[in-house]
């Protein structure tokens, strides 16, 4: 009897040790689908919404997105933001700050929750963080459908699998006058633009679709509902990065030199 136990124990230990890797390894061989409900960023006076599906196959993502209810007639910069560590989340009312006398959330205010823009969801050409503000290649209008297949880095693919990725669509109409103006002052990302042009409008964390769940269970890693707790210490880091990069250059400071 004891011999049998001794024989099983190493197997049991191995199974426990490998369990987390076995799940991701099996998924990496095929496609894995992630979804996000794009919800209005609080305090920014947004009434729109959207949804996005990201199908990951190796280091390629196929994106399908629908958005409605945003400010019409303007481009909406959009990105997959990635956190270096910890689950991605969307900003809450508590993240709002005074901007030109108005409580609102600009892109920097949310970075402790959703990280830096890594993948620019442009309509053509480059999709790196270099194109974060390439508004001439971003979807335009109140409502749009976006479909594109993009090659990303292995690190970015892993971040999506890890729940460290969130989709953010930018461009708001804070004072509801149908256009961008300087009601919130200049943009934190590019002082030549009004803050309304770059402030986050919609946000959603990419979560593995239920379709990917292993039937035997154990894949339910949960959402980001408690992610805020671990973000407290990162707020200073996010601010430091922005300061280090300078206004408007914050997007580029974290760019990885990836050759694909
Ligand atoms: Cu963004």
How do residues 77-131 score in pLDDT, each as one tens digit? 999 999 999 999 999 999 999 999 999 999 999 999 999 999 999 999 999 999 9
Question: Which whole number is the average pLDDT over 218-238?
Answer: 38
Residue ranges covered by each domain of the chain: 30-211+221-253
CA 216 – ligand 1 centroid, Å: 36
pLDDT at 192 over 70: yes
CA 121 – ligand 1 centroid, Å: 9
Smallest Cα–Cα separation from 112: which of 95, 133, 98? 95
Question: Which whole number is the average pLDDT over 215-240?
Answer: 38
pLDDT tens digits, 8-30 = 444 444 444 444 444 444 444 58
Query: Residue 5, CB half-sphere, CA atoms under 13 Å: how many?
Result: 2
Helix or strand or coil: residue 191?
coil
Residue 45 class from Cβ within 10 Å (0-12 exposed, 13-18 middle, 19+ buried)?
Answer: middle
User: What's the whole-model pTM score?
Assistant: 0.73
Which helix (H) or strand (E) segment holds residue 28: the answer is helix 2-29
Instruction: Give the pLDDT score at 210.
Output: 76
Helix or strand or coil: residue 77?
coil
* Nearest-5° Cα angle at 34, 33 to 40: 150
Cβ-contact 67, 139 below 8 angstroms: yes
Instruction: Give the pLDDT score at 247.
Output: 34
CA 42 – ligand 1 centroid, Å: 16
Mean pLDDT of all residues belonging to the chain: 80
* Residue 41 DSSP code: P
Torsion of CA 189, 89, 42, 51, to 10 degrees: 90
Classify domain 30-211+221-253 at the CATH class level. mainly beta
CA 5 – ligand 1 centroid, Å: 54
CA 146 – ligand 1 centroid, Å: 15
pLDDT tens digits, 141-184 = 999 999 999 999 999 999 999 999 999 999 999 999 999 999 99
């Amino acid at each position: 009897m004891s011999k049998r136990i001794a024989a099983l124990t190493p197997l049991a230990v191995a199974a426990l040790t490998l369990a987390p890797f076995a799940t991701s390894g099996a998924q990496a061989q095929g496609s894995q689908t992630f979804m996000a409900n794009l919800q209005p960023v609080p305090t920014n006076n947004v009434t729109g919404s959207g949804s996005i599906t990201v199908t990951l196959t190796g280091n390629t993502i196929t994106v399908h997105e629908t958005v409605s209810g945003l400010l019409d007639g303007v481009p909406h910069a959009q990105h997959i933001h990635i956190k270096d560590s910890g689950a991605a989340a969307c900003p809450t009312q508590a993240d709002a700050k005074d901007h030109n006398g108005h409580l609102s959330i600009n892109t920097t205010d949310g970075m402790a929750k959703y990280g830096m823009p890594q993948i620019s969801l442009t309509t053509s050409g480059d999709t790196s963080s270099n194109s974060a503000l390439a508004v001439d290649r971003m979807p335009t209008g109140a409502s749009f459908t976006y479909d594109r297949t993009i090659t990303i880095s292995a690190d970015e693919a892993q971040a999506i699998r890890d729940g460290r990725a969130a989709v953010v669509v930018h461009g708001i109409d804070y004072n509801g006058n149908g256009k961008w103006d300087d009601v919130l002052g200049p943009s934190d990302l590019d002082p030549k633009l009004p803050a309304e042009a770059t402030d986050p409008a919609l946000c959603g964390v990419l979560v593995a679709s239920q379709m990917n769940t292993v039937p035997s269970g154990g894949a339910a890693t949960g959402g980001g509902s408690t992610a805020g707790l671990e973000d407290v210490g990162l707020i200073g880091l996010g601010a430091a990065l922005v300061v280090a990069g300078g206004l408007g250059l914050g997007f580029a400071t974290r760019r990885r030199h990836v050759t694909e």
